[in-house]
Amino acid sequence: QKEVEQNSGPLSVPEGAIASLNCTYSDRGSQSFFWYRQYSGKSPELIMSIYSNGDKEDGRFTAQLNKASQYVSLLIRDSQPSDSATYLCAVTGSGNTGKLIFGQGTTLQVKP
Amino acid sequence: NAGVTQTPKFQVLKTGQSMTLQCAQDMNHNSMYWYRQDPGMGLRLIYYSASEGTTDKGEVPNGYNVSRLNKREFSLRLESAAPSQTSVYFCASRRPGTYSNQPQHFGDGTRLSIL
């Protein structure tokens, strides 16, 4: 069973701090990695994608990928109360079906 | 700019009833997916359709059937609903891409309760 693991949290950070969310995956053949944000009662919304080892930055968000260690992380700089949500890590398996395997999500709470 | 549209948004069924959840996308995407999400859990794949005319089982297909009606529409059917199928159901679509690098885009979900 291919798995994606996240700490369910909640992860609590003060406003303005850096929030660090982590994800590990078991399938070494995985090629694409996504972070989705999900507000309570809403659908998942794509915030970052990453395909190559290293860092990818988009505004206050930075995704980091280390395929050798099989982990993906998401950093949120200058965290805002509006960032409070559940963050889902999703990983594709081998092949090109586009199927995603999701972690259980990490709940982030940003306190004013 | 509708994206992925799911109907209905809410539904309450009795055990044993049947129901079809509808999903349509207007982004000309090839692939479509059905997930369920239970409290405290991530999304689990029920069925998917990599392209028009094909469907395949995901992680949790038992108790469900699907139909890829055309390129736009992908429906999920519960033939005999059970309380264990109470969940939030999400439909997603994705355009073709090299090495699965295209993300999936989600509809707003259907909240289904089975009594």
Q: Is B31 on the interface with A (CB under 8 A)?
A: yes
Q: Is A40 on the interface with B (CB under 8 A)?
A: no
Q: Which of B43, B97, B103 sits opposite A102 (nearest CB)?
A: B43
pLDDT higher than threshold 90 for residue B43: yes
Q: How far apart are CA B89 and CA A50, in angstroms?
A: 26
Contacts of B56 in chain A (CB under 8 A): 97
B83 phi/psi in degrees, rounded to 5: -55, -30
The mean pLDDT of B55-81, rounded to a whole number, is 95
Q: Is A29 on the interface with B (CB under 8 A)?
A: no
The mean pLDDT of B51-63, rounded to a whole number, is 93
- 10-residue stretch averages of pLDDT, chain A, 112 residues long: 86 97 92 94 95 94 96 97 96 78 95 94
Question: What is the chain B residue with the closest CA to A93?
Answer: B100
Contacts of B106 in chain A (CB under 8 A): 43-45
Q: Give exposure, A56-66, as e/b (b: 16+ Cβ within 10 Å).
A: eeeeebbbbbe
* pLDDT on residue B2: 76
* pLDDT on residue A93: 74
Average pLDDT, chain B: 93
Nearest to A7 by CA among A97, A91, A87: A87
* pLDDT on residue A94: 67
